């Protein structure tokens, strides 16, 4: 299975950087997600995860998103629910969210994602 990488355009506030590593199971979405074509962007990520999960290998998912616009947020929820189901099926899942110190809006969003999905997300400040 191949890695999936999507690079954000330099200076872009619209598209995050994505690195999904099939050999290590370490996945990362970083930057800001203000997208109009959210389904087009997030569906390949979701599909990659579904395919990877057939391997039953551990996954570490690192979110380094400081801004998720409202239309991107439902796709983030889809991914979090998928990770939750994978963990409930007996697989090893670790989900981390890196938040800049003082960014309470993002911290509240992550807390809300946890309440909605029931997935444990470790919050790290930097």
Can you give the binding site for other proteins, defined by CB under 8 A? Answer: 11-14, 34, 36, 66-67, 69-71, 73-74, 77-78, 100, 102-103, 105, 108, 112, 115-116
How many Å apart are CA 67 and CA 27, to the nearest integer? 18
Closer Cβ to other proteins, 15 or 19, answer by number: 15
Distances (CA, A) of 93 to 57, 83, 97: 9, 7, 13
Closer Cβ to other proteins, 90 or 102, answer by number: 102
Closer Cβ to other proteins, 5 or 112, answer by number: 112
In the complex, least distance from residue 87 CB atom to other proteins, rounded to whole angstroms: 19
* Alpha helices (runs of H) in 4-103, residue ranges in sequence order: 38-53, 70-88
- Do residues 53 and 87 make contact, with C-beta atoms less than 8 angstroms apart? no
In the complex, least distance from residue 21 CB atom to other proteins, rounded to whole angstroms: 27
């Amino acid at each position: 299975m191949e890695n999936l990488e999507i690079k954000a355009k330099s200076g872009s506030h619209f598209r995050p950087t994505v690195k999904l590593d099939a050999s290590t199971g370490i996945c990362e979405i970083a930057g800001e997600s203000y997208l109009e074509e959210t389904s087009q962007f997030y569906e390949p990520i979701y599909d990659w995860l579904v395919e990877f999960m057939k391997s039953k290998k551990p996954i570490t998912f690192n979110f380094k998103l400081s801004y998720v616009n409202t239309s991107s947020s439902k796709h983030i929820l889809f991914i979090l629910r998928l990770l939750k189901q994978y963990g409930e099926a007996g697989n090893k899942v670790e989900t981390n969210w890196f938040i800049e110190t003082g960014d309470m809006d993002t911290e509240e969003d992550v807390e809300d994602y946890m309440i909605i999905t029931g997935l444990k997300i470790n919050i790290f400040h930097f």
